[in-house]
Chains A and B, each alone.
Chain A
Amino acid sequence: MKPAPTLLSTAFLHPAGQALPGPLLALRKQRGAALVDMPLPTRKTENWKYSSKYLKLTDEMATSLPTDGKTGSALAVPGYKVVFINGVMVPEASEYPDLNNILIQRFGDLSDAEASELAERLDTTLDTKAVQFAGLNSARFEDGLVIRLKPDAVLDQPLFIIHEVTADASGSAFPRIFVDAGRNSQITLVEEYISSGQEAVFVNSVTEFTLAEGANVTNIRLSMGGENVQHIGATGVTQQRSSRFQSHCVGFGGPLRRHDLQVRLEGEGAECKLNGVVVTQGTQHYDNHTTIEHIAAHCDSEETYRNIAADKSHAVFNGRIHIHQDAQKSNANMNNKNLLLSTGAEIDTKPELEIYADDVKCAHGATIGQLDEESLFYLVSRGISRREANVLLTMAFINELVAQIPVDAVKDTVQTRLNQFFDQAFQEA
């Protein structure tokens, strides 16, 4: 057998699409140069320990998926919509307002001055040493969306970004979003990752948020790609004084799913709330790595993640909270609960706390368990079928997080996908 490659194939270092302003092309080139000899993660790579075996990149996947003439699945959404197909925005399929105080622009439409300002800011929310694939996105993006909210601007409806890959051939897509939320601005951004077609594809996405003082950003992220999609995504967030960031990540497993979420609380009084739900079945995989950096004093973070793994699937959670020396009066709460629906499933969870300030309140907990037999018996003793009892108890495990998703239509989408999951996971005896 041929030994697995240890370096990222150079085939991945050739971006397509030159229709970008000069400063972004220059950035891309510079990031690409830095990736020559990029090692691929292995079992020995600490932050890929449990997941490296699922990453299977081929040279065919290095090619950018074609974007011409694709219209996508035309989902109806209750709000504004931007459609990206194979990493490139489709203006004909998108509907969003043209406002003075909220600028929604694709990268290709930026002036050189705007592009150069953006180029300065891309990647600054993420620790690209730890999240190397974010660097790959920066070397490869062909398009992207930048959303700039001026001070006090409030987007009156959620903005949905539909990221679809059309996997009619093997290839990859590199969608990129940058959100600059000005002072006291507000936005709810929904990202839905979906796919059509059956060929093996690779999606490498990055979304960044910078929150100025008092900004209030809600991000819902649904990862719903197919069984042929390997997806490595990263979300980076920086928060200034008294800003608030709320994240709801709901992920359904696949051959490889990786999401790194990094939040930097840089201004006093900033708050973040990170909710996550992952369900995996069959031989699926999902890996969430989150990092919260408490840099300024008086910041609050609250993180609640739930994993449910059925069959022979594998879910991974790594939650790191880093409280810097000056971050006195930090409040950090991290809770991760895991439910194994089968003895063949695997869940690896690791909360990591690093505290360098002395006056902080920190709590963390992680548990792994199965459905409770006594509860099951109680339910079936009332005539409820085993299948329904399993569903009720499994839903009970994540109800609270699903209920907190602030957009009803998204909640419905999630429930529909969960019902499909239950149909597979709990077949009627």
Chain B
Amino acid sequence: MLSIKNLHASVGGKEILKGINLEIKAGEVHAIMGPNGSGKSTLSQVLAGNDAFEVTSGEVTLNGDNLLEKETEERAREGVFLAFQYPVEIPGVSNLQFMRTSVNAMRHHRGEPEMNAAEFMKLAREVSKQVDLDPAFLKRGVNEGFSGGEKKRNEIMQALLLQPKLAILDETDSGLDIDALKVVSDGVNALRAKDRAILMVTHYQRLLDHIVPDYVHVLADGKIVKSGGRELALELEARGYAWLGIKDEATAASSAN
């Protein structure tokens, strides 16, 4: 489904992704782990089409189509979904209006009729229950004043509404307490499907206790330095990144304190 070949990307002239290679087939769940600053979010944003990042070389295809030449909105309509590490707050645009506009843009793309406000409200209420988000959040501004965990649940809610082909989840587990982690991982597990690929980006392996990946990759300094099955995550948990000869600033900083 997703094929990444020798992807290089930079921001402000600084190279961040230094030759990523990755193949993900339909139905698979891949986890990308790596220390802070290794380029996980950059990879996620590049796949979604954020032009703050410049792709300097390489190739990315989704079901054979060149993804990199498409606009962000086209990628989304063709099934790419990114759950942001830091979802953006947009006061003045209601969450409900935002999600309905999004769902209808997708429906329009597929040649389906738009959902009216009442139909969408019904659907949104159901899905908000699934991620344990009070329907009152639908009336608020997009992510406006949401806690970290509420923002993440709101991202998963959108994934459930949009039913993407490729879901990229950028640290959807960070900042969650145990209960919220359970809700979010139930949401992600509900997304698992034969015709869908999931790319989970995470700094910690605790999400992988709830969502068992088919493959685990370790990203360090813009490159995938090791790939394996889920046992690789357990090994990282037990031995830390240093075991792979990777400097993890966060770990180093915390042990220095």
Q: Which residues of A contact B (CB under 8 A)?
A: 372-375, 377-386, 388, 392-393, 395-397, 399-400
B226 at the interface (CB under 8 A from A): no
- Which residues of B are found within 8 Å of A382, using beta-carbon distances? 76, 98, 101-102, 105, 158, 162
Q: Which residues of B contact A (CB under 8 A)?
A: 48-50, 52, 71-73, 75-77, 82, 84, 87-88, 90-93, 97-98, 101-102, 105-106, 109, 141-142, 158, 162
Given A380-B72, A384-B105: A395 and B77 interface contact (C-beta under 8 Å): no
Indicate if the CB atoms of B93 and A373 lie closer than 8 Å: no
Indicate if the CB atoms of A378 and B109 lie closer than 8 Å: no
- Which residues of B are found within 8 Å of A373, using beta-carbon distances? 52
Given A382-B158, A382-B162, A384-B73: A399 and B82 interface contact (C-beta under 8 Å): no
Residue of A nearest to B161 (CB): A382
A393 to B90, CA, bound (A): 8
Given contacts A382-B105, A384-B73, list 17 more A-B pairs with CB under 8 A: A373-B52, A377-B88, A378-B87, A379-B102, A380-B71, A381-B82, A382-B98, A383-B105, A383-B109, A383-B162, A384-B101, A384-B105, A386-B73, A388-B101, A392-B97, A392-B98, A396-B90
| 11 cross-chain CB contacts under 8 A | A378-B88, A379-B102, A381-B75, A382-B101, A383-B109, A384-B105, A392-B93, A392-B101, A395-B92, A396-B91, A397-B92
Indicate if the CB atoms of A374 and B88 lie closer than 8 Å: yes
B97 to chain A, nearest CB (A): 7
A397 to B141, CA, bound (A): 12
Residue of A nearest to B51 (CB): A377
- Which residues of A are found within 8 Å of B92, using beta-carbon distances? 393, 395-397, 399-400
Residue of B nearest to A382 (CB): B102
A101 to B90, CA, bound (A): 48
Indicate if the CB atoms of B105 and A381 lie closer than 8 Å: no
A26 to B98, CA, bound (A): 60
Residue of B nearest to A373 (CB): B52
Majority DSSP secondary structure for residues of A touching B: helix
Indicate if the CB atoms of A396 and B72 lie closer than 8 Å: no
Indicate if the CB atoms of B49 and A381 lie closer than 8 Å: yes
- Which residues of B are found within 8 Å of A393, using beta-carbon distances? 90, 92-93
Residue of A nearest to B82 (CB): A381
A138 to chain B, nearest CB (A): 41
Indicate if the CB atoms of B73 and A375 lie closer than 8 Å: no
Q: Kindly identify which residue among B75, B90, B91 contacts A378, using a CB–CB cutoff of 8 Å.
A: B90
A155 to chain B, nearest CB (A): 33
Q: Kindly identify which residue among B76, B87, B93 contacts A383, using a CB–CB cutoff of 8 Å.
A: B76
Residue of A nearest to B86 (CB): A374
- Which residues of A are found within 8 Å of B71, using beta-carbon distances? 380, 386
A386 to B101, CA, bound (A): 12
Q: Kindly identify which residue among B50, B88, B158 contacts A375, using a CB–CB cutoff of 8 Å.
A: B88
Residue of A nearest to B87 (CB): A378
Indicate if the CB atoms of A384 and B102 lie closer than 8 Å: yes
- Which residues of A are found within 8 Å of B101, using beta-carbon distances? 382, 384, 388, 392
A378 to B48, CA, bound (A): 10
A380 to B84, CA, bound (A): 13
A13 to chain B, nearest CB (A): 48
Residue of A nearest to B97 (CB): A392
- Which residues of A are found within 8 Å of B97, using beta-carbon distances? 392
Residue of A nearest to B141 (CB): A396
- Which 5 A-B pairs have CB atoms at the shortest separation, nearest pair first? A396-B92, A383-B76, A382-B102, A378-B88, A383-B105
A109 to chain B, nearest CB (A): 47
Given A388-B101, A400-B92: A383 and B106 interface contact (C-beta under 8 Å): yes
A416 to chain B, nearest CB (A): 18
Indicate if the CB atoms of A385 and B90 lie closer than 8 Å: no
A427 to chain B, nearest CB (A): 16
A293 to B109, CA, bound (A): 55
